Amino acid sequence: MIRAALAAAAQRLAEVSDTPRLDAELLMAHALDVSRDDLLLRRLDDPAPQAFEALVARRLAHEPVAYITGTRAFWTIDLRVGPGALVPRPDSETLIEAAIDWFGERAPASILDLGTGPGTLLLAALDQWPGATGLGIDRSEAALGYARANAERLGMADRAAFRLGDWGAGLDRRFDLILANPPYIGTDETLPEDVRRYEPASALFAGPDGLDDYRRILPDLRRLLAPGGTAIVEIGWSQAETVSAIARNSGLAPMVYEDLGGRPRAIRLT
């Protein structure tokens, strides 16, 4: 029975995951090709599918659940993800919340997502503001492939453009909202095995102190921001003071936002 299979799998997955029961449920839903809600509400007394054990084995080898299932929920959308693309994290939703706080009843007309990955922040923002258009920049063709496919699947291909690029280099227009989740891990920092083994290092590491990309991005933001606009960047939880200092030295006023865990996670810049 599925109920017993989930309990057994969760016990095994506790060796490699902080969320073993959730992982087991997502993998089972994927094996059945149903939603997690449908699994929990209607399928717990069904026979467990044979495909489930192979999925559990992949997770026990530290492969991220999102890579196994090929999808990850973020904000109000579901994104296709896989090798070569950073897995969207719930903490990154803090950037969308900060943008909503800034614009209030207004809405940005143009959005720039620097380091868009599979289109995470740009497509979430476009879903939040249906009248907006946006541009996503990334250095990875693999990530941009996911981003374009996600935009097409979500019906946003006519509102979202994607371009291979190096942060804001070569851009000659201004945007109402700029979002960025750059690499911010120091090269000597220890990461969980599922991140270290599977996710792209280019989307994670940014020099010895994890600040290299902030030093490049922040001084260029004033040139790219439209009047009345704002930029919001994700940070590591211990980086609020140092990134804020880089922002002030770049002529920007920073405001720190915390994630659901109460840790500094985003800085809004004006």
pLDDT at 92: 98
Residue ranges making up the domain that contains 253: 75-269
How many structural domains compose the chain? 2
Its pTM stands at: 0.95
Q: Say if residue 52 is in the same domain as residue 132.
A: no
Amino acid 211 reads: L
Q: Say if residue 158 is in the same domain as residue 197.
A: yes
Find the DSSP H helices in 14-90: 20-32, 36-42, 51-60, 65-69
CA distance 203 to 163: 16
Instruction: Check which CATH number belongs to the domain holding 51 and give it.
Output: 1.10.8
pLDDT at 255: 98
Q: Say if residue 118 is in the same domain as residue 199.
A: yes
Q: Left (φ > 0), alpha (ψ -120 to 50) or beta: where does 257 sit?
A: beta
Q: Say if residue 241 is in the same domain as residue 142.
A: yes
Among 61, 85, 112, which residue terminates a domain? 61
What does each C-alpha distance from 185 to 13, 45, 67, 201, 207 come to in angstroms? 26, 44, 21, 10, 8
CA distance 59 to 53: 10
Per-residue pLDDT of the chain (270 residues; tens, 9 = 90+): 999 999 999 999 999 999 999 999 999 999 999 999 999 999 999 999 999 999 999 999 999 999 999 999 999 999 999 999 999 999 999 999 999 999 999 999 999 999 999 999 999 999 999 999 999 999 999 999 999 999 999 999 999 999 999 999 999 999 999 999 999 999 989 999 999 999 999 999 999 999 999 999 999 999 999 999 999 999 999 999 999 999 999 999 999 999 999 999 999 999
